[in-house]
A and B are shown apart, each in its own frame.
Chain A
Amino acid sequence: MQISNPQQQMMMRMAISEVFQKMFFMIPQEELVPAAEKQYRCFVPIAHKQQDTLKLCLNIDWELAMQLTKNFMGIQSSQVTDAQIGSTVLEILNMLAGNFLNQIDPEGRYALGIPVTGDPVDGDISVYEELNFESHRLAVFLRGSIL
Chain B
Amino acid sequence: MAYNILVVDDSSAMRVVIKKVLHMTGLDILVFEAGSGIDALTVLEEQWVDMILTDIHMPQMSGVELIEKIRSHQEFNTLPVMVISTEGREDFLSKTQKLGVAGYLKKPFQATELRNAILAILEEHNADIQPAATNDDEDGDF
Contact = CB atoms under 8 A, between A and B. Distances in A.
Interface in B41-89: 57-59, 85-89
A18 B108 contact: yes
A74 B20 contact: yes
Interface stretch (A35-43, A98-106, A129-137): A98-106
Contacts of A53: none
Interface in B6-35: 10-14, 16-17, 20
A91 B20 CA distance: 17
Name B's interface SS. loop
20 contacts: A18-B108, A22-B110, A23-B108, A23-B109, A23-B142, A72-B16, A73-B17, A74-B142, A83-B12, A87-B14, A91-B13, A94-B11, A94-B107, A95-B108, A98-B87, A98-B107, A99-B86, A99-B108, A107-B91, A108-B91
Interface string A57-96: 0000000000001011110000000011001101100110
A12 interface: no
A32 interface: no
Interface residues on B, range: 20 to 34
A102 B89 contact: yes
Given A72-B17, A72-B142, A112-B57, A90 B11 contact: yes
Contacts of B107: 94-95, 98
A106 B85 contact: no
A105 B89 contact: yes
Given A71-B142, A95-B107, A114-B58, A87 B12 contact: yes
A91 B12 CA distance: 9
Given A72-B142, A88-B13, A94-B57, 18 more contacts: A71-B142, A73-B16, A74-B16, A84-B13, A87-B12, A91-B11, A91-B13, A94-B86, A95-B107, A98-B85, A98-B88, A99-B86, A102-B86, A108-B90, A108-B92, A112-B86, A114-B57, A114-B58
Contacts of A114: 10, 57-59
Interface in B90-125: 90-92, 107-110
Interface string B123-142: 00000000000000001011
A97 interface: yes
Interface of B: 10-14, 16-17, 20, 57-59, 85-92, 107-110, 139, 141-142
Given A73-B16, A114-B58, A87 B11 contact: yes
A19 interface: yes
Nearest to A20: B108
Given A108-B89, A108-B90, A114-B58, A91 B142 contact: no
